[in-house]
Amino acid sequence: MAERRTLTEGLKATPEPLDAGIVRQLVYADTPQKPQSQPTQQTPVIDRVPLSTRMRGDFAKALKKASLERQLEGMTPNTLQDILEEAVEPWLKSNGYLT
């Protein structure tokens, strides 16, 4: 067993510097490296703003249940935000608020 030392003695001891190559290898060992020559595709930026509203309790429960079940099954859309956006978009388009 190692000899006990005081907290201040332990804090004064400095560890050996880490080799950057070894650290990089440990961190990125299982990550496939992307070739840097390929241009990255940029996705369009969607501006989202906070919106607060109230809805019926049974709607909220069903929406939350749908969201959780879809997340477990790996289906999309699966977040409350995405489900609501997908549901509201057709109404806005059919009533002339979106083109």
pLDDT digits (tens, 9 = 90+) for 19-78: 888 888 888 877 666 666 666 677 788 889 999 999 999 999 999 999 999 999 999 999
pLDDT above 80: residue 15: no
Taking only Cα atoms into account, the Rg of the chain, rounded to an integer number of angstroms, comes to 26
The pLDDT, as a whole number, for residue 11 is 80
Written as one string, the DSSP assignment of 10-75 is HHH--PPPPPHHHHHHHHSTTSPPPPTTSPPPPPPPPP---------HHHHHHHHHHHHHHHHHT-
The pLDDT, as a whole number, for residue 38 is 63
Question: What number of CA atoms fall less than 13 Å from residue 36's CA on the CB side?
Answer: 0
